[in-house]
Structure 1
Amino acid sequence: MKQKSLLNFFGKKKDNDDGIDSSPAPKTRTIDLKNESFSTPTKKAKTINLTPQKEAKSTPKDKLNSFKSPTMKRILSDANVPSSPQSPNNYKTPTKKQKVLESNYPTPSKEKNEDRYEWLENVRDIDMNGPGNVNYLMPLGDEEYNPSTLYIPPSAWSQFTPFEKQYWEVKCQYFDSVVFCKKGKFYELYENDADIGAKEFDLKMTERVNMRMVGVPEATFEFWAAKFIARGYKVARMDQLETSIGKSLREKDSKKDKVIRRELTAVLTAGTLVDSDLLTSDMAVYCCALKERRLSESQVEYSVVFCDTSTAQFYVSHFEDDEVSTKLETLMVQVQPKEIVYERNGISKETLKLMKRILPGNTLWQISKREFPGDDFIDLIKGKEYFSDELMNKLSMMNELTISCLGGLYLYLDGLKLGDDLLSMKRITEYDPLNHGKCMILDGSTLKNLEIFGENGLFNVINKCSTAMGKRMLKNWVCYPLKKADEINERYDAIDELYKLDLINEIQSAIGKLPDVERLLSRIHCGGCKLNLFLNVIDSLEYLNQWLNEKLLKIEFESKLINTLLLMFPKDFENILEPFVNGFDRTLALKEGSIIPNPRTDKEYDSICDEVELIKQKLHKHLQEQKQILNTTDIRYKDIGKDLFQIEVPVNTKVPMDYIMLTKTKNVKRYHNPTLKNLVKDYQETLEKKSLFLDSYFTKIQLKFDENYSTFMKIANLVSQLDCLCSLAKSRDTFGLPFCRPTIQEEEFSFIDFEDLYHPILKINKDIIPNTVKIRSDNVDASMIIVTGANMGGKSTLLRQTCLGIILAQIGCYIPAKSCTISPVDRIFTRIGAHDNIMAGQSTFMVELSETSKILREATPKSMVILDELGRGTSTFDGYSIAYSVLHYLANHIKCMGLFATHYHSLTQDFSSHSTITNYHMAIHTDELLKQVTFLYKFVPGVCPKSHGMNVAKMAGLPISIIEEAERIAKEFEECHQEFM
């Protein structure tokens, strides 16, 4: 995805016809962000600095000066007004640079604007830095330019209408975002944002000089926001926080405003979505911060903090890495973050290239070094009192790189109005990308080479989960297969018992009715859950409680794992749910759009309701009085739009002088009079008070619900694990016959014994041939197998299906084989396929050697190593020598299991007498007369006599004359080679 900025949309000159609601806006140019760089129409791509601006929050002023970061200062500022840091309320004496540059901005005329403002023509950030353009005073731009802010001179602020000032106080701090400004029943986009709406989506534009505008209905906000985000834009949401009636109520006890109160309520980006209407996938979406410190030429230190904003789950990782950044690559492949925030000039070119290669199209944001705080971040968190002393001590014990990284991500999220909501959930977990301990290691290279998470990868084949929570947990199980035999067998025992009791479909049917509880708990914590979703959570948990008590909890399971899971379910769960199940009428709440307190349970609400009824009685009495005054019974109240209780009478009815006609038709006229007007105003204000109370009441209920967050998360975890077990059980039906439960044995050395193993992915849609693979099993004592065979004969497929079989077995999944017995593997290494890593500036041969070097350093006797065509990236003799040496080292020193596919047939001869190396090949049938080969795809003992490249060339359609010439040269080369050897 390209993350786009908003610099390059130029406005046309037309009269301003928007009255009080018109306002000047920046004329800018488009810059497409490709990862961390923007490309402009006039210059080469230029990496820019993106520092999100934050709104002020309260803290003592003497603490404020200890923070270097402007964002930290804004967060801790003691300003109580929502005005911009550069608005007149906060205006400070200009610096020398500002004075020089401000002299270029002419004072705007109070007359109707015929020309665009100079400060919109020559855009600068809040610190007066320019982006770089031939129109600017600094053609090459400032290194510290921050495109998220816009400088507006004091002379311009004084000329703004109230609405213009309100709008620009937000837009000048979120200049790189498309601002959707709520106005009545519409969201409106102005100026360059309007240009984008018209250009990208053909929205109809109202042309003006300084306030071009497009609009969309409020009900379609999520639809249009999703479209803008999909095109790579940030979307800032500026909402009305009151109605016109609410405004009049507020002004009874305070100074009158000329405009309805509006504030920024959210900033949406591809990696930080929390609204279920905008989330398009059940899988976790991550926003990530990265810090790097070079230790030596061959060692680098990384801190990575990433967050799933939909569940408020933070992960913290710190590690030292090798020269090819194995751990960082693994983490990025596992997590696949949508956005990465890093310090400008703070990470190496090699790391940037690695991320661009692994995460093509994802967004890389540069932010200033000042936005990655140090110990001052710990002081900030202490002041917020989110965490217990124990958790604060753990945070304080983190190394400085990790603290800075966590602080940088928090400040970025805070600029998106998410920082406090997410961090206050206290969900911070340490993350080890290679998970040294109880799990098999699958590094980034292996995950990619085996296509675990591709569109047609292993995960999608076995994912039969019925809940979003289960899908996310299953992905974690696939990333980290178990490696202890007891734990693996416990999973199989649980699956077998669920099958035996015929509970798989019943469980998934029951839990499948649950919404994404894990994500919704995060929204409830923030008080931002939509009413229908909140009620759905309560309904679903009530159903789950009933079903578990009536079904699963009554069964005496033999499975240790299932019994452990069911212990997560609290015995007093019914009491926990009771205030939400019986505390209000859920059917009525859904109908009315608000949770209504039960009668006579809340004095404040009862008082408001009584007031509404009293006014209704007065209105009824007033109507009866008007019947007598007008001497007619043909009179009634009529609501037309916002004008309520209009007195409707026949068109010829004579009315008193104080009647004011509002509307009429051919047959009737409708009026208000002074008394009625005051009654209607009282009625509307009372309804507004009722609405405000109900909004506050719903927030209180969500906070009450959130008090049991840890209990509800245990329920979510229970459901997720049950769903994963059912998914693994159902996947065996996907494979079809044959399938088997592997026998898992704990041994000193790992071994594998697959009889008639099918490729688990290819078997679904193709009629494929199974193969038996044995290493250190039965009569096969060898730990390394040299695999030879013709091109297209199935060598690479065999290597992959063997690895996939091991992974399935250690996840706890039935596998497509006649039988399987293994001792768990601690890690799978793969060197499959030749590819030039252009982004990293590495050749095929360099990639081969780098990956092989990692294998030789980190493999153990319990590892599985897959090497495919090692050495083909260089000359024949160099390649053969390297292949020989690596195979010898793996067999004699590391003593791991391995499959070594090669076209170097001399290796089979050189290691023919080796005790731990044996030869297998992919069988073919050759018709020498017709010079045709038939691939049998069977893995059999022995050596393939040759690679049959000429037969493949014929199949590919090469001219016969070229093939015959190639055969002659190959024969000569083979004779020379034998003489040399």
Structure 2
Amino acid sequence: MDRFLKKSPGGAAATPPSQSSGPGNKRVLASSDSDEVPSSKKRTPSALSSGQPSQSRVQPALTHDAPAVPMAALGEQARQVSDLGFLRDKRDAQGRREGDPNFDPTTMLVKLAKGEKLTPAMEQYWNIKKDHADMVIFFKMGKFYELFEEDALLGHRELDLAFMGKDAPHCGFPEAALPKYAEKLVALGHKVGVVEQMETPAQLEERNKKRKEAGQRVDKAVRREICSVLTQGTAPPQGAQAKYVLFVCEDLPSKTLGVCFVDVATGCVSLGQCPEEDGCQKLRTLVAQLQPAEAILDGESTSREARALLQQAVASTAVLGDGRYGGAAFARKALDEGGYFGGGAAGGAGGGAAGEWPAALQAAAALSPPVAFGAFGGCLRYLQRTLLDRQLLPRAEFAQWFPTDGEGGEGAATLVVDGKTLQNLEVFANSTDGGTKGTLFAAIDRTCTPFGKRELRRWAGRVVPKERANDEYDAARRRLLEVDAGLQQELSRWRRELRDSSIELWTPSVANGQTTEPFQLAEFAQQMSSKKGTKRFWTAELRELAGEHLEAKAAEEAALAAAAKQLFARFSAQYAIWRNAVSCAAELDCLLSLARASSAAGMCRPAFVAEAEPFLHIQQGVNLCVQSALSDGQCIPNDIRMGPAPDGAGGGGEGDAARFLLVTGPNMGGKSTVLRQACLTVLMAHLGCWVAAEACSLSPVDRIFTRVGANDAIMAGLSTFRVELEETSLILKHATARSLVILDELGRGTATFDGMAIAHGTLRHLALETRCRCLFATHYHALSREFERANPHVALFHMACAVDEGSRAVTFLYRFQPGACNRSHGALSPRRRRLPAPPRDDGGASSQRP
């Protein structure tokens, strides 16, 4: 590491090299890195952004404590972008201005007007920025990453970085802080492009010698390239939640949905297509299961409903038009020419390289229309732009995706839990703050590994070497240690000659600001820099040792990079084995998690009866989500009996029982809790977990439907009543005799008589035609009168309560009992919520009128 030889500590702030030093400055002998071509010119704030060589960066005696002088006093309001014409009149690469419907925010037109000039380093910067205009560019200069113009304004505002210099916006930070600042910007929804130096100044000087000999123009700045792109979907995951990037396109004439989603961290790519329903139900379910970090849509093919759904559900959603998405034609050409799977250019769509594609890609490309393959085209273009295509695709695990309610593939053997049901049952996120507290997943998750947690989440959403020495590195390391020993000897010599044991080697990135009394060195020591209370010097011996140190350090880093490359290559050669091992460990972790959840008090093993008529019997069961959210964990248990139990299935001997339960009871009496309890119990049983009950027996369920709550979708143009009707329509179309349905206060989104008519028609269809297991909660008491007499199809139940006629106080008993409740006691409930007396009493009086 490059170092300075300096005296004792002090905490003064840095000053520009041009600032004069008073007699109180301290003595320092120093050495430093260099990151540009050697030169005798002094470094100024403008030289930093120009990339021009500066003596302070090259001479081993002088360095700077920061890229330039922080100008904290200058706020963002005092800064504006430069007067460069292309910044004042922003256009994309095709010359289109913002506001044009085809404007491409990923590119910008960089064209200098007459009289405008850029320094060599800024030419590099804008050559990169013009193709990555939608990214914040972290531009490596020496030991710092620096931001310019609009990116610097953003860095000052979001990262609290101090401006440097007095001219155009410009700020930066030490290279060690890259993960912190990149992570913060990505979390705020920005994309980050990291530009690295691809050679050292010494390598640049050597390259320029060869270029001169060949009669070529020399380069004035080290070579730089964009080496990584960080987005919300590609940044390393911070927790156990998998980070998916979802790609969507549609064929509107045939109403076919095509999707592709990739988990960059694990290299899993899934793609498939299916007929889509009105309301984008299959896409809604997939989004609820994945909870993607990013969504990319083909703007030329996706419907308005799909756009509204994703823009509402996924914070980072991009709609790409004007051919920027990719598509099937792009994917076919890129795969044929790219050689991702062991082949080169194939020259044809169906032969050559296509025969080497993974089976899932071949199957998708053969479909008509190839919508899933088009979605993969969007994925491929995204991976190319984020510089991940060569790393990920050759080693990726490709799989076909089938919707959970599909007719084939994975969907045929799973319990279908659509997106609305996942939301209504609070399987992954609660309805209070979107967190995991009180959710089913939080209640059953006992995994101990990140990949196990990811696998358990997938289950819940789809219930179905010898050591070897590296001689090159060892040699470089020994050389570096020898140089460091020489620097230590030089330090000891100066301590003896100056008779001052506080003098020490100093590194710019970890300066501790020592102070001392004024001192003047001999003529053979040359001053290289100064700041308040400090002067820094170097000698010929120190300069020579510093150069050797830099060469040894570069050799060590090169050897280490080569060793890492070999290690990664060996790992990649056995990637399939490691992937299978992780998959097995994840499955084992999930099973152990379910076992730990099942071993809790009050859990029982559910008994499935495969060949029986549809039934569900729960004895003394509780809602596990509610129980886990309560501080004492005490819930009132209830029995739920739907359908007659076959002989030997248990669950009591009361004879035949109706599959359809019509539930009434007071407001806030616990109806919704019991409805959700039935669904969660069934979901856990199909997941392979024990359930929160004394006993439970059931026949298999093919799909769970939920219609609860009052929700609208303003951005999609859907009122509360419209959402109610669409969700009810989905149930009536797809529910079978083996489904489980819960309906909570259907019809409350419109007038009372209209709502009761809709509820009555839905009730009769599900009870008499579909004959599914259903819990139907309502405040329309007229519905219960039709079924007061015992019948085999509909049974009446209610949530019990006690009413004190004197004080008009309602006591909820939270007992699920046979029979109907002829009143909802809505006018009495406001007393419990301290509604002001006048409206409360007026409402109560009105409720008593005939």
TM-score range, shorter chain: 0.7 to 0.9
Deviations 1:573-630 (A, max 9, x none): xxxxx23xx235xxxxxxxxxxxx1xxxx5x66887898899999x99x99xxx9xxx
- Distance between the aligned counterparts of 1:329 and 1:789, measured in 2? 32
Structure 1 910/188 Cα, relative in aligned 2: closer, same or farther at 3 Å? same
- Picking from 224, 228, 231, the partner of 1:262 is 224
Kept in 1, the 8 Å contact 2:616–2:697? The answer is yes
Kept in 2, the 8 Å contact 1:788–1:920? The answer is yes
Aligned residue number for residue 49 of structure 2: 22
Aligned residue number for residue 404 of structure 1: 374
1:747 partner letter? E
Kept in 2, the 8 Å contact 1:235–1:268? The answer is yes
- Distance between the aligned counterparts of 1:886 and 1:324, measured in 2? 20
- Distance between the aligned counterparts of 1:352 and 1:159, measured in 2? 43
- Distance between the aligned counterparts of 1:221 and 1:353, measured in 2? 35
2:540 partner letter? H
1:448 partner letter? Q
Kept in 2, the 8 Å contact 1:339–1:365? The answer is no
CA drift at 1:478: 0.7
Aligned residue number for residue 7 of structure 2: none
Structure 1 156/301 Cα, relative in aligned 2: closer, same or farther at 3 Å? farther
Matched, 1:171 2:129: yes
- Distance between the aligned counterparts of 1:835 and 1:201, measured in 2? 38
Aligned residue number for residue 724 of structure 1: 590
CA drift at 1:803: 0.7
- Picking from 274, 299, 306, the partner of 1:344 is 299
Describe how 1:830-845 pairs up with structure 2 within 5 A: 830-845=706-721
CA drift at 1:680: 7.2
CA drift at 1:966: 4.7
Kept in 2, the 8 Å contact 1:21–1:164? The answer is no
The aligned length equals 714
CA drift at 1:20: 4.0
- Distance between the aligned counterparts of 1:265 and 1:820, measured in 2? 57
- Distance between the aligned counterparts of 2:484 and 2:302, measured in 1? 68
Describe how 1:157-168 pairs up with structure 2 within 5 A: 159-168=117-126
Kept in 2, the 8 Å contact 1:467–1:723? The answer is yes
Matched, 1:147 2:105: yes
- Picking from 175, 189, 206, the partner of 2:164 is 206
Aligned residue number for residue 373 of structure 1: 327
Kept in 2, the 8 Å contact 1:756–1:770? The answer is yes
- Distance between the aligned counterparts of 2:620 and 2:162, measured in 1? 64
SS of corresponding position for 1:371:
coil
- Distance between the aligned counterparts of 2:310 and 2:598, measured in 1? 36
Provide TM-score, normalisation by structure 2.
0.77
Answer with 697-706 or 243-252: which moved more: 243-252
Matched, 1:128 2:95: yes
Give the number of the structure with larger relative contact order, counting CA–CA contacts within 8 Å between residues 6 or more apart: 2
SS of corresponding position for 2:710:
coil
Give the CA RMSD over aligned residues: 3.7
- Distance between the aligned counterparts of 1:115 and 1:158, measured in 2? 11
Kept in 2, the 8 Å contact 1:21–1:161? The answer is no
Answer with 778-787 or 122-131: which moved more: 778-787
Matched, 1:689 2:656: no
Aligned-pair identity in percent equals: 32
- Picking from 815, 820, 825, the partner of 1:948 is 825
Describe how 1:29-108 pairs up with structure 2 within 5 A: none
Structure 1 952/684 Cα, relative in aligned 2: closer, same or farther at 3 Å? closer
Structure 1 127/923 Cα, relative in aligned 2: closer, same or farther at 3 Å? same
1:213 partner letter? H
1:182 partner letter? K
- Distance between the aligned counterparts of 2:329 and 2:627, measured in 1? 55
Matched, 1:295 2:253: yes
Deviations 1:925-963 (A, max 9, x none): 222233232111111111112222222244344566656
Kept in 1, the 8 Å contact 2:45–2:165? The answer is no
Kept in 1, the 8 Å contact 2:81–2:149? The answer is no
SS of corresponding position for 1:829:
strand
CA drift at 1:742: 1.4
Structure 1 944/213 Cα, relative in aligned 2: closer, same or farther at 3 Å? same
- Distance between the aligned counterparts of 1:223 and 1:872, measured in 2? 50
Matched, 1:186 2:144: yes
1:738 partner letter? G
CA drift at 1:412: 2.1
Aligned residue number for residue 33 of structure 1: none
CA drift at 1:413: 2.7
Describe how 1:498-897 pairs up with structure 2 within 5 A: 578-579=465-466, 582-584=467-469, 597=470, 671-672=539-540, 684-685=550-551, 688-732=554-598, 736-764=600-628, 765=630, 766-776=633-643, 777=645, 778=653, 779-897=655-773
Unaligned runs of 5+ in 1: 1-15, 25-112, 132-140, 483-577, 585-596, 643-650, 974-981
CA drift at 1:465: 1.0
Kept in 1, the 8 Å contact 2:415–2:462? The answer is yes
CA drift at 1:306: 1.6
Deviations 1:743-781 (A, max 9, x none): 222124332111100110111224220101111234342
CA drift at 1:817: 1.1
Structure 1 689/616 Cα, relative in aligned 2: closer, same or farther at 3 Å? same
Kept in 2, the 8 Å contact 1:289–1:306? The answer is yes
Kept in 1, the 8 Å contact 2:50–2:120? The answer is no
CA drift at 1:652: 13
Matched, 1:393 2:362: yes
- Distance between the aligned counterparts of 1:822 and 1:426, measured in 2? 40
- Distance between the aligned counterparts of 1:607 and 1:253, measured in 2? 28
CA drift at 1:818: 0.9
Kept in 2, the 8 Å contact 1:245–1:688? The answer is no
Deviations 1:149-175 (A, max 9, x none): 221225579832211111111122222
Deviations 1:366-388 (A, max 9, x none): 34324323334223212222233
Deviations 1:907-926 (A, max 9, x none): 22213343221111111122
Aligned residue number for residue 382 of structure 1: 336
Structure 1 837/117 Cα, relative in aligned 2: closer, same or farther at 3 Å? closer
- Distance between the aligned counterparts of 2:822 and 2:549, measured in 1? 95
2:456 partner letter? L
Aligned residue number for residue 914 of structure 1: 791
- Distance between the aligned counterparts of 2:702 and 2:719, measured in 1? 30
1:746 partner letter? A
- Picking from 460, 465, 473, the partner of 1:478 is 460
- Distance between the aligned counterparts of 1:836 and 1:638, measured in 2? 69
Matched, 1:358 2:295: no
Structure 1 352/395 Cα, relative in aligned 2: closer, same or farther at 3 Å? closer
Deviations 1:346-367 (A, max 9, x none): 32322222223333x3433434
CA drift at 1:967: 5.5
Structure 1 236/315 Cα, relative in aligned 2: closer, same or farther at 3 Å? same
- Distance between the aligned counterparts of 1:606 and 1:473, measured in 2? 42
Kept in 2, the 8 Å contact 1:386–1:426? The answer is no
Matched, 1:447 2:447: no
Structure 1 947/243 Cα, relative in aligned 2: closer, same or farther at 3 Å? same
Aligned residue number for residue 487 of structure 1: none
Structure 1 638/883 Cα, relative in aligned 2: closer, same or farther at 3 Å? closer
1:902 partner letter? T
- Picking from 226, 229, 233, the partner of 1:271 is 233
CA drift at 1:705: 1.6
Kept in 2, the 8 Å contact 1:774–1:780? The answer is no
1:170 partner letter? I
Kept in 1, the 8 Å contact 2:364–2:370? The answer is no
- Picking from 411, 414, 417, the partner of 2:384 is 414
